[in-house]
Structure 1
Amino acid sequence: MNIFTSNDEMQLYRSGLESSGQTLGFVPTMGALHEGHLSLVRASLEKADLTVVSLFVNPTQFDDPEDYNAYPRSIEKDKKLLEEMGVSVIFAPSVESMYPSGMETFVENVSLSNILCGEFRPGHFRGVCTVVLILLNSIRPQWIFLGEKDFQQLRIVENIVKDLKVNVEVVPCPTLREPSGLAMSSRNSRLDTEKRLLAADLYKILQNLRKILLEGNIGVNEARELAVQQLKKIEGLTIDYLEVVDRKTLKPVKNLSGKVIALAAIRLGKTRLIDNIKI
């Protein structure tokens, strides 16, 4: 297994593969790997000849320095896991390698970056768009594997690839959950036992919202409001948003015509969690 810590090293390795005909899959992560990440790695290992996994806590997508500093890091454990799985390359660049002094160019998706999570985390998706494009330019994979838990991020990356003519296929992968229903996330490690149980209620409420909507006895707005009121009853939980939206535009819908998804973001103490359910 190769471990590269700079874009120059990664690009040199990628150039050396040009004549081999081997395909490359890419799984971008911020480390602190859990089973959800590993499911993406398995999907890449199954589809591609070689798999690259990035381990990089991207500072430009954090609007709160305290959140960035508190983000869980376990790079040695992550390396061991990935080596045991048969990953070909770990790309763990430094901040200086990704964002050299004097860098003035950033990337932003206009239509999707400032709604939902973007409204509550200013500049977050500008950081996501920029780091993803830098990584794709260095790694040049055939496929990039992304989890559907971060659905807004998934749609934004799909737009980047389409609009900027990036020669890569985005492969969406289903959300993995703990036995309680809680979506797997590196941030879950910051929850104590009590908060972890409370966090699991988010998915139960989303499941109930889906059930009510499919029954069709009340409208989307009324059903959404019922779910919001259920969330408000959970002690210590604050709501950033809960919206029922079109899967492509992420704009709120008034009915269930077309493909629809419910997206939610909550906070338990200082820990922010997101989840969704397709309707």
Structure 2
Amino acid sequence: MRPIETKKELDKILNRTPSSNTLGLVPTMGALHKGHLALVKKAVQENDRVVVSIFVNPTQFNNKEDLVKYPKDLSKDLELIESVDPDIIVFAPSVEEIYAQSVRPKKYDFQGLDNVMEGEFRDDHFNGVGTIVEQLFSLIQPNNAYFGEKDFQQLRIIKKLVEIQKIPVNIIPCPIVREDHGLAMSSRNERLSENIRLKAGFIFKTLQTAKEKFGTKSALKVKEWVKNQFLKEEDFEMEYFEIADVETLSPLKRKVKNKKYRAFIAVYAEDIRLIDNIALN
């Protein structure tokens, strides 16, 4: 399997695809795992042709050290994709191919979705996400694009991007895929020591208990309980825990009947940042 590296070559291949065919896109930053492959398999099942993009996008990293350390293994990624379907088109451009002379994100108005949780701790992160996703949508023009719910806030923001930019694509959310002990699958998990990786199942177990408590306790009480759980665990440092409205991502102050809520968390383990979330009702 040979990756496509230029926009020109990608355009040439896509132009040979019959217009009646449905085209699916799975955007990734590589270092693929079973979570990514679940998205790829779903895209293959639901579309005539599939493009998987592999691009470590510099404009969404507020921490340059995190960008440098982000795991990369293109040959392994290609093997995994080929094992799903050898006819998948893999687009793996360079930074120069995507950004030319100006490696800067566009500015978007995501109507407050980007100001909380991840946005509070990662300056310009979602502008960087929007910039690369909009460009991929423009280049590939997929009918359907697949995103994992592990990055639920990102998923909501991409839906808002499609709405404000009037991009004709269906955004397909896909469930979180977890390791056997509950840790949400992430490329960053590969950087954890074996011992801490096993212990990190504690994050999801805490979310599950928080969900149970949310049925009878206030959001404030649940947040206090989660904070105290992490204060007892010296291997993990909680950056934030928030309960928010699924649609607006606004932090919950008082429960409203018939509204959907989700709990979001970001945790540091061995200086590696892990995120997760869970539906509460």
Q: Residue 15 of structure 1 corresponds to which residue in structure 2?
A: 15
- Cα offset, 1:153, TM superposition: 0.4
- Cα offset, 1:114, TM superposition: 2.5
Q: Residue 91 of structure 1 corresponds to which residue in structure 2?
A: 91
- Structure 2 gaps, min length 5: none
- Cα offset, 1:15, TM superposition: 2.7
Other structure's SS at 1:4 match? coil
CA–CA distance in 1 between the matches of 2:91 and 2:162?
21
**What aligned pairs does 1:101-250 form with structure 2 within 5 A after superposition?**
101-102=101-102, 106-108=106-108, 109-214=110-215, 216=216, 218-250=217-249
Q: Residue 67 of structure 2 corresponds to which residue in structure 1?
A: 68
CA–CA distance in 2 between the matches of 1:104 and 1:195?
35
Q: Residue 40 of structure 1 corresponds to which residue in structure 2?
A: 39
> Counterpart of 1:112 in structure 2: which amino acid?
L
> Counterpart of 2:279 in structure 1: which amino acid?
K
Closer, same or farther: CA 7–110 of 1 in aligned 2, 3 Å: farther
- Cα offset, 1:16, TM superposition: 2.9
Q: Residue 55 of structure 1 corresponds to which residue in structure 2?
A: 54
Deviations 1:64-108 (A, max 9, x none): 111001001110011111122114200001100110114766142
Q: Percent identity?
A: 41
CA–CA distance in 2 between the matches of 1:234 and 1:132?
37
CA–CA distance in 2 between the matches of 1:102 and 1:190?
30
Q: CA RMSD in A?
A: 1.5
Deviations 1:97-139 (A, max 9, x none): 1101147661422412221111111111111010000111001
TM-score by length of 1: 0.95
- Structure 1 gaps, min length 5: none
Is the CA contact 2:59–2:104 (under 8 Å) kept in the aligned structure 1? Answer: no
Q: Residue 80 of structure 2 corresponds to which residue in structure 1?
A: 81
Q: Bigger shift: 29-38 or 225-234? A: 225-234
- Cα offset, 1:2, TM superposition: 5.7
- Cα offset, 1:234, TM superposition: 1.1
TM-score by length of 2: 0.94
CA–CA distance in 1 between the matches of 2:91 and 2:31?
14
Is the CA contact 1:2–1:88 (under 8 Å) kept in the aligned structure 2? Answer: no
**Count of residue pairs brought into register by the alignment:** 276
- Cα offset, 1:45, TM superposition: 0.5
CA–CA distance in 1 between the matches of 2:25 and 2:160?
18
